[in-house]
């Protein structure tokens, strides 16, 4: 494995052609605004679409102007299809763009007690087209979630969706309500992508739960399914790969493993479908962001300038890998498949809990081939990363930063996987205020690549210019796009 560490930081934003504009802000949402923001989005052929709990908006990719007169409730596609089981705005929404089919995807969990996973697929790539419409699908989750020993249905948390050639793959955490929402397992489902793209009746999703009898804290939770960047599909017949963290066990604060999973789906004979894993992938030893063996569920340790007086720390969500698990099929003389992902790890000396960004490249047949840690120093904690790859082998990772001296801000780094260059960090937006009321900082962000030029990265995250001191949210979001000069 090749190990890269960021030694130098700082770059002129002109070098990466950076442009930014304001996304959805809490002030515009009024009573709809939630403390848990979950900012994410995707770039399509003509628009950028953004989600914050529990609404979405889209913007012209050239002028950056919003295409809707106001934000849209997250259940709009399902109301348009009279799918009442998906009415409501529970949150945990994800926006994706299917590069291989050039369609939009909006997915979310819905329900209390009776749970549904709801997926909307657009009938075109243009959100402003005269005949634009959403196809809507849902899965009643209770039968596949299972129940705990007390007879309560496991709570479906942290759902994520990804695009592959043979299915849309959805991963969901199982949480035990009788154990204070303890993460006890995972659910993985394949949805009939071919039928959904046509708006026709979809074959029943194929779902697997692991472990079959959940009990106790599941240290490998929050699986991520591979999601395609670019318009070149994976080699024919390639099964879907998934990854998850392996948190430390017992009294240890250290782990040296990432879990690899493989989902084979057979739509003609579902009995042949299977989820295999976890298969351990050996990696350099790490301590997950904010992790302490004495309290594995406590993941809030990121300071702000006001922490000394408020004693409030931001949640790093360091106990899991971060959305997305990016796949790209590189072509040319020596074609190869590349999968990349990232998470927060501790980089502080002498037991300090400062967090940096660990990224990995996985290649089938070779395992983890490259990895590195982004930690330029200056006392900043780096957390909530999201990665993607362009057609020139550049990996870009966006993330949040904060420290006792620096307000929470948005930064990004890039490096070249083929030429093994060192990462270069640059600023996207410098925050000027803190989240003083809650440790919530969303649970994920998203880095995606323009499907037209296959070079421009687009990233969204949150920041503050007004201190949040009450339950009324004051967060803002910023959407950035940039490209590395060697990508044509």
pLDDT at 311: 95
Which pairing describes strands 322-330 and 224-228: parallel, antiparallel, or unpaired? parallel
Residue 488: CB atoms within 10 A of its CB come to 10
pLDDT 10s per residue in the chain (488 long)? 544 443 333 445 657 899 999 999 999 999 999 999 999 999 999 999 999 999 999 999 999 999 999 999 999 999 999 999 999 988 799 999 999 999 999 999 999 999 999 999 999 999 999 999 999 999 999 999 999 999 999 999 999 999 999 999 999 999 999 999 999 999 999 999 999 999 999 999 999 999 988 988 999 999 999 999 999 999 999 999 999 999 999 899 999 999 999 999 999 999 999 999 999 999 999 999 999 998 888 899 999 999 999 999 999 999 999 999 999 999 988 899 999 999 999 998 766 789 999 999 999 999 999 999 999 877 899 999 999 999 999 999 999 999 999 999 999 999 999 999 999 999 999 999 999 999 989 899 999 999 999 999 999 999 999 999 999 999 999 999 999 999 98
pLDDT at 201: 97
pLDDT at 353: 87
> Distances from the Cα of 186 to the Cαs of 171, 174, 289, 292, in angstroms?
7, 5, 21, 23
Closest CA to 104 of 91, 119, 87, 89: 119
Q: In sequence order, which residues have a C-beta less than 8 Å from that of residue 205 and are 6 or more positions away?
A: 139, 170, 189, 190, 191, 192
For residue 13, the SS3 value is helix
CB burial readout 385-402, b (16+ within 10 A) else e:
bbbbbbbbbbbbbbbbbb
Q: In sequence order, which residues have a C-beta less than 8 Å from that of residue 140 and are 6 or more positions away?
A: 85, 114, 115, 116
pLDDT at 402: 97
pLDDT at 6: 37
Q: In sequence order, which residues have a C-beta less than 8 Å from that of residue 83 and are 6 or more positions away?
A: 118, 136, 138
The alpha-helical segments, DSSP class H, found in 116-249 are: 142-145, 193-198
Distance of CA 320 to the CA centre of its chain: 11
pLDDT at 14: 56
Domains of the chain by start residue, with CATH? 2-482 (2.130.10)
Closest CA to 383 of 438, 465, 301: 301
CA 268 – CA 273 distance, rounded (Å)? 10
């Amino acid at each position: 494995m090749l190990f890269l560490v960021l030694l130098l930081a700082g770059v002129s934003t002109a070098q990466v052609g950076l442009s930014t504009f304001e996304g959805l802000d809490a002030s515009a949402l009024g009573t709809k605004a939630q403390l848990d923001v979950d900012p994410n989005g995707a770039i399509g052929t003509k628009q950028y679409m953004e989600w914050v709990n529990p609404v979405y908006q889209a913007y012209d990719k050239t002028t950056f102007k919003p295409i809707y007169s106001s934000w849209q409730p997250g259940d709009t596609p399902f109301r348009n299809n009279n799918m009442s089981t998906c009415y409501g705005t529970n949150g945990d929404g994800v926006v994706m763009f299917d590069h291989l089919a050039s369609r939009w995807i909006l997915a979310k969990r819905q329900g209390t007690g009776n749970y549904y996973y709801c997926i909307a697929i657009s009938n075109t790539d243009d959100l402003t087209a005269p005949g634009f419409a959403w196809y809507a699908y849902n899965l009643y989750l209770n039968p596949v979630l299972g129940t705990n020993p007390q007879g309560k249905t496991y709570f479906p948390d942290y759902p994520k969706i990804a695009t592959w050639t043979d299915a849309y793959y959805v991963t969901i955490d199982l949480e035990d309500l009788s154990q204070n929402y303890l993460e006890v397992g995972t659910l993985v489902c394949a949805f009939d992508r071919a039928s959904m793209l046509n708006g026709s009746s979809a074959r029943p999703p194929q779902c697997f739960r692991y472990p079959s009898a959940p009990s106790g804290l599941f240290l490998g939770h929050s699986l991520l399914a591979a999601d395609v960047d670019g318009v070149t599909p994976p080699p024919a017949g390639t099964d879907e790969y998934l990854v998850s963290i392996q948190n430390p066990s017992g009294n240890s604060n250290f782990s040296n493993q990432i879990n690899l999973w493989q989902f084979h789906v057979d739509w003609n004979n579902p009995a042949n479908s299977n989820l295999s894993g976890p298969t351990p992938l050996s990696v350099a030893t790490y301590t997950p962001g904010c992790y302490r063996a004495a309290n594995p569920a406590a993941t809030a340790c990121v300071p702000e300038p006001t922490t000394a007086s408020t004693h409030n720390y931001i949640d790093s969500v360091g106990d899991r890998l971060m959305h997305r698990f990016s796949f790209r099929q590189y072509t040319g003389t020596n074609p190869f498949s590349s999968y990349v992902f990232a998470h927060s790890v501790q980089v502080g000396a002498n037991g300090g809990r400062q967090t940096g960004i660990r990224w990995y490249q996985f290649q089938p047949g070779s395992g983890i081939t490259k990895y590195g840690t982004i930690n330029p120093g200056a006392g900043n904690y780096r957390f909530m990363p999201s990665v993607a790859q362009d057609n020139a082998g550049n990996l870009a990772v966006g993330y949040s930063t904060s420290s006792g001296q620096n307000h929470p801000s948005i930064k990004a780094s890039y490096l070249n996987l083929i030429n093994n260059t060192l990462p270069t960090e640059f600023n996207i937006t410098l925050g000027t205020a803190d989240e003083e009321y809650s440790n919530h900082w969303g649970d994920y962000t998203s880095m995606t690549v323009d499907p037209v030029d296959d070079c421009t990265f687009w990233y969204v995250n949150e920041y503050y210019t007004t201190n949040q001191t009450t339950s009324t949210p004051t967060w803002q979001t910023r959407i950035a796009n940039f490209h590395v000069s060697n990508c044509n």
